[in-house]
Structure 1
């Protein structure tokens, strides 16, 4: 019965979107809205409801990304791509790969206002193996957006005493240096709420400042960001009833990034960053000073601080008929912890070098054959090195008469290292049990794909098979019912994904589908459930719509239907439909003003995105923004 209800809800939502699209055909010309930021062109709702916008916000309904949240995506989110786990996914801004060495749960702690970033690009397969770092499944990649003179202020209130505010201001000066114009921008954001569940309140604050020199041939950005996040949630990380945990995070980020355009697609990008993340974790807020069973270590709360110093470069340079794609990444990380003290080390250095030459040949009937092949080299001063081959063959302009633009086939190997929570948690006691002997993880990805355009629709598809060796997963066994254990698994993932997008003056529609199967081998480990590697959707369908009704009215809706792999720890159904919707009005008599009413989790789904972690209930909010 729940499955029928879920399918009915998704079909109903789709019919509503289709009907709305049909209705608007006869309407008048829509009011042009000021667009400071587009956080993702494949997602309808560009801003969250319960807090201010973060880079992770627009990934919530992204067709190529599965966000598994605790409290809300902006509270704590595990980002999975193509059936990978939260530590298989990387983040990249400009030439630099952002990273937290303690745990992948904090990879998405990026204290940058989305208004300063471009829409994300999802790197997979060969592209991820070359441009990504320490991320075997995929990378979410952003670029720094050029500064324009203008700003926006947003305020909103909602259920559970939720209130939030954001301010962004950019200023492009008339001062120039070597043909580059000086510009600055800054942003401030704050939100707080009593929370939808008992002990689920939050208080978030973010400050940003950036100086930019930009021209047609290049852009230099110097950025500083600070973000503090306090939030609670029942069973935030633990599978036990009536445990109320809290996180208190402070993240500092300093970035210097330069990109020089060389013409004809060639470029050089180089930069460096400093990141510090402080984490104060409380297992049970009702008795914060009591023994903390999480890590089997010292009593009371756990304190962790990580430092990352990184430099990197990325380039595409043409010599003769060969395009040289290259990436260099250096990362130095360090951990200081009151509880992650049982491993062999708490600091290390990483280096990656990748060189992939590329060449194209003209063929009959206007077709173009493109071949690129090379290798990446990864090493640390703690783990062995790995050489990873990369190759891709693409045939462009395959059959433009019938809409097929390109087909490709690729093979890519990549590797990464475990985080300190897996390496340094105590192996013999505690709720989270580590393994100091975990080694380098490798993945081999083979895929074929195509892209095309058909009757106003743009479509991309891919079939892939990824074999992960020694992937670090966290498992549950009835032989250790009070623990989750870091364990290496060999796992094969086979999948199909497709994204179809349609855009017109009246409506934008995006449909996505991902189907996955897995075959896992945990060796001699007795595994009754997996918190991450086997927590994946066998089928996931997304539908996003933006409908412009005219006279300043607009409707936006994101939908997701999924059939999840069964999991013994999940206390909800394995099938779900989750939707969010908003109605917006921009009056013509006040240019830049927008009023909104939004609903998160429209059907009040109780689906547990992470097994044993309660879902966020439905929430309604109303807001006003003004752009100039």
Structure 2
């Protein structure tokens, strides 16, 4: 399998001696206490991090139609563009790491990364842009190739847990929905430079003429790399036109080239990827109260991989995937306390590949969700969806979720749902001397349940405690009985994942905030003797803390600290930070990543950069 030339034995592998936990712990006390020691004297107001206070009427897409935050029955992290501006991040995967995602990066600046949620694999997370599916049918490694400049993001919503009753396939561990910014007049620009020959920037402009609003955005980044054959450069373009409040046309494109030394083997590899997304949507509000939305889209992704740049044409593969689809949904109010959503989708995916061959499939779906609420105190959302695939059969995905405000400061929530995922073309058709895919693979399925308590201990504070469990069947993975044999794709009979999540957020004012979250997971397949390549690679312990606040002389401080201990024993700390000061015409900032300069690997065998420092200049 081109994407999986590296051999990883998750169960048996011990921690790499280069990644000893002793050195990072010398810094841990200071690092952990820093946000609390520095923040209080300069707190002067506000919201920090993912999520929103329960009294805010912020709508999210955890249901078939948006609902007020106070009526949410599911666990959702929401980061607005204001929240993102207060985080020391450089890419969308960096942002997602602050919303509960377990990110596995092979390169900085989001050049290539895997997104995992609640112990899922990278293929078990659905990525959407304005509700349009972005998951690639070739391999889940491409799901983070998101063709949207960061400056064009309005907010990012991360739904934890199953979402197949709303979105269909792949919404196993969770769903990421990137909502783009509405076109608005004005010009914004950012430029930056830093270590390892890094240079980057973005530019966006919007105009308004009568009912027509248009926006253009471009972002670029390049680096000579922190070591040979780890250079990269990328460009992202976007254009959106909106006519009134009903019709939107969006076109976006991303083009990337990067050195991939060590990504899939010991050779100096190189990879080129590109993705284009086109969507057209229209909304209509009838006098009867019925709201209807119709959307059509086309997506294409290209991937060229050269295993060894010293031997061009040898062990080289090229892939081109396509996806097209249409969707329609309608919301019908049923009195003052209920509403019914009905909808359907249809689409097709196909691939032309030098190593996988030419393949395709088509799909259709129907879904329904009922929303009921007793004022703002209790709410219930039963839903169901059926998907039909031309080669994988049918999948039924029911769900039920609800919540109750026990008091003004305590809310209880619970949900249960079924999810499924179909195999990618790589899992079905890839073959090389060390790998053999099976075209007989079937879909994987899971039941997931969660129980959540939200509490407000005092004004400006919000805490969350969540317990969840997932029971998977026919899980797709690359496995082998012993190290000397080939990796083969198979449907693992049963897998169980259990976890607990704890979060606490303090918002003392509009210009300061602190948030911390902890996730503990356990996953395993009982009574199965095999070596797993991907499914059992998860973060057993994940802790993160972030803070932003004001310092004297008008300086703003933003920093975050992340600790992870993976199932195979690897453990690492990552401290990022930034300082900035605003002037009448611009904002000047300095920023750093991996400030502890620790050696770490988010994906086994792929080293990440050490300490990095840079400067930025942005317009208001």
TM-score, normalised to structure 2's length?
A: 0.85
1:577 to 554, 561, 573: 573
Query: 1:330 pairs with 336, 346, 350, which one?
Result: 346
What secondary structure sits across from 2:596 in the alignment?
coil
For residues 152 and 598 of structure 2, what CA distance do their matches in structure 1 show? 33
Conservation of the 8 A alpha-carbon contact between 2:168 and 2:420: no
Give runs of aligned pairs for residues 425-464 of structure 1, distance below 5 A: 425-426=430-431, 429-455=432-458, 456-464=460-468
1:305-384 matched pairs, under 5 angstroms:
305-320=320-335, 321-341=337-357, 346-361=359-374, 368-384=377-393
Instruction: Give the 3 Å change call, closer, same or farther, for CA 113–261 of structure 1 in structure 2.
Output: farther
2:272 maps to what in 1? 248
CA distance in 2, matches of 1:368, 1:210: 39
Give the deviation of 1:268 after TM superposition: 3.6
Give the aligned CA root-mean-square deviation in angstroms. 2.6
Show the counterpart of 1:32: none
Determine helix, strand or coil for the equivalent of 1:100: coil
Partner of 2:302: 278
CA contact 1:554–1:584 (8 Å) conserved in 2: yes
Distance 1:625 1:11 in 2: 34
Where in structure 2 are the equivalents of 1:63-82 lying within 5 Å? 63-72=99-108, 74-82=110-118
Match of 2:201 in 1: 165
2:32 alignment partner, one of 14, 17, 27: 14
Deviation of 1:462 (Å): 1.5
Measure, in 2, the Cα distance between the counterparts of 1:186 and 1:26. 35
**Pairing 1:421–2:426 present:** yes
Q: Is contact 2:301–2:320 with CA below 8 Å preserved after alignment?
A: yes
Structure 2 contact 99–158 (Cα < 8 Å) conserved = no
Once the two structures are TM-superposed, the CA of residue 316 in structure 1 deviates from its matched residue by 3.7
Residue 169 of structure 1 aligns to a residue in which SS?
strand
C-alpha displacement of 1:15: 1.7
Per the alignment, residue 591 of structure 2 pairs with 598
Of 232, 235, 239 in structure 1, the residue corresponding to residue 262 of structure 2 is 235
Alignment length (residue pairs) = 565
Contact 2:430 2:437 in 1 (8 A): yes
Counterpart-to-counterpart distance in 2, 1:596 and 1:541:
27
- By how many angstroms is 1:436 displaced? 0.9
User: Is residue 2:184 matched to residue 1:154?
Assistant: no
Tell me: CA distance 1:316–1:134, structure 2 relative to 1, closer, same or farther (3 Å): farther
Question: How far apart, CA to CA, are the structure 2 residues paired with 1:262 and 1:143?
Answer: 25
Residues 375 and 311 (structure 1), Cα distance of their counterparts in 2 relative to 1, 3 Å cut = same
The range that moved more, 605-614 or 1-10, is 1-10
Whether the 8 Å CA contact 2:478–2:490 is kept in 1: the answer is yes
Deviations 1:132-183 (A, max 9, x none): 543211100123322221221111111111111211112223x13xxxxx11
Structure 2: state its 5+ residue gaps.
1-18, 46-78
* Superposed displacement of residue 315, structure 1: 4.4
Q: What CA distance in whole angstroms lies between the structure 2 residues aligned with 1:615 and 1:485?
A: 29
Q: Is the 8 A contact 2:44 2:549 kept in 1?
A: no
Aligned residue among 606, 609, 613 for 2:602: 609
Q: Provide the rounded CA distance (Å) in 2 between the counterparts of 1:233 and 1:536.
A: 23
> Partner of 2:503: helix, strand, or coil?
strand
Contact kept, 8 Å, 1:152 with 1:626, in 2: the verdict is yes
User: Relative to 1, partners in 2 of residues 1:368 and 1:207: Cα closer, same or farther, differing over 3 Å?
Assistant: closer
- Which residue does 1:570 correspond to in 2? none
Q: Distance in 1 between matches of 2:562 and 2:289?
A: 36
Aligned in 2, Cα 1:205/1:126: closer, same or farther, shift over 3 Å?
Answer: closer
Q: Structure 1 residue 205: deviation in Å? A: 1.3
* Corresponding residue for residue 56 of structure 1: 93
Deviations 1:111-132 (A, max 9, x none): 1223333211111336564245
Are 2:216 and 2:239, in contact at CA under 8 Å, matched by a contact in 1? yes
Residues 235, 337 of structure 1: CA spacing in aligned structure 2 closer, same or farther, 3 A cutoff?
same
Q: Does 1:398 align with 2:406?
A: yes
Task: Determine the C-alpha separation between the residues in 1 that align with 2:127 and 2:543.
Answer: 24
Does structure 2 conserve the Cα–Cα contact (< 8 Å) formed by 1:378 and 1:415?
no
SS in 2 for 1:422: helix
Q: Which runs of 5+ in 1 are unaligned?
A: 28-36, 177-181, 293-300, 567-572
Aligned in 2, Cα 1:57/1:563: closer, same or farther, shift over 3 Å? closer
Per the alignment, do residues 144 and 132 of structure 1 end up closer, same or farther by CA in structure 2, a change over 3 Å counting? farther
Which of residues 136, 156, 163 is equivalent to 2:172?
A: 136
DSSP 3-state at the match of 2:95: helix
Provide TM-score, normalisation by structure 1: 0.84
1:496-530 deviations in Å (ceiling 9; x for gaps): 1123222224421111111100121584x631xx3
Tell whether the 8 Å contact from 1:90 to 1:132 is kept in structure 2 after alignment: no
Quick one: structure 1 residues 368 and 22, their matched pair in 2 at CA, closer, same or farther if it must change by over 3 Å? closer
Contact 2:88–2:558 under 8 Å retained in 1: no
Give CA deviations for 1:61-115 in whole Å, capped at 9, x if unaligned. 3242111010125111100011001100011223322221101111121212233
